[in-house]
Amino acid sequence: MLTWKDVIHYSVHGNPKPDKRVEKTEAEWQEALSPEQFRITRKKGTEAPHSGALCSIYEAGKYACVCCGTPLFDSTIKFDSGTGWPSFTQPIKENAIQYEKDTSYGMVRVEVMCNTCDAHLGHVFPDGPAPSGLRYCINSESMELIQNAADHE
């Protein structure tokens, strides 16, 4: 189980190696994604709180990166954080997510991205529930819910 100490270590000393890499040009990403998905995942945007389609969905499945299809989170570790964004306590695998220090907007946070394609997902905070204490605060537009996860593995 990842802890805040692990998150900080990765953001300072480098991330775990992903299982694979997906790289496309900006034009290829723009063609493959909706304008809002592109703005969020490739330009590090954020959707308005409580606006995302995945905020209030708690159906069984895996949440995959909208850009490359890599499984990121499992529905069993999703929780209602009250923040207005889908929230999770752990990634599906330790090397699914990459972490980077983010000092934008006058604050210090840890940005989380897909470790396979570098898509911006959101941020992680040390104020989640036990046992990990982590809250991955993720944009709905950066993920898709795969309900028959066996078809996507």
What is the set of active-site residues? 137
65 assigned to a ligand binding site: yes
- What are the structure tokens assigned to 47, written together? 């959707």
Contacts of 52 (CB under 8 A, 6+ apart): 84, 85, 86, 139, 140, 141
Closest of 44, 59, 52 to residue 84, by C-alpha: 52
67 assigned to a ligand binding site: no
- What are the structure tokens assigned to 29, written together? 């990403």
* CB-CB contact of 49 with 84 (8 Å): yes
117 assigned to a ligand binding site: yes
Give the Cβ contact number of residue 28 at 10 Å: 10
Distance CA 16, CA 7 (A): 11
55 assigned to a ligand binding site: no
List phi, psi (to 5°) of 29: -65, -45
Q: Which residues are annotated as a binding site for Zn(2+)?
A: 65, 68, 114, 117
Q: Which residues are annotated as a binding site?
A: 65, 68, 114, 117
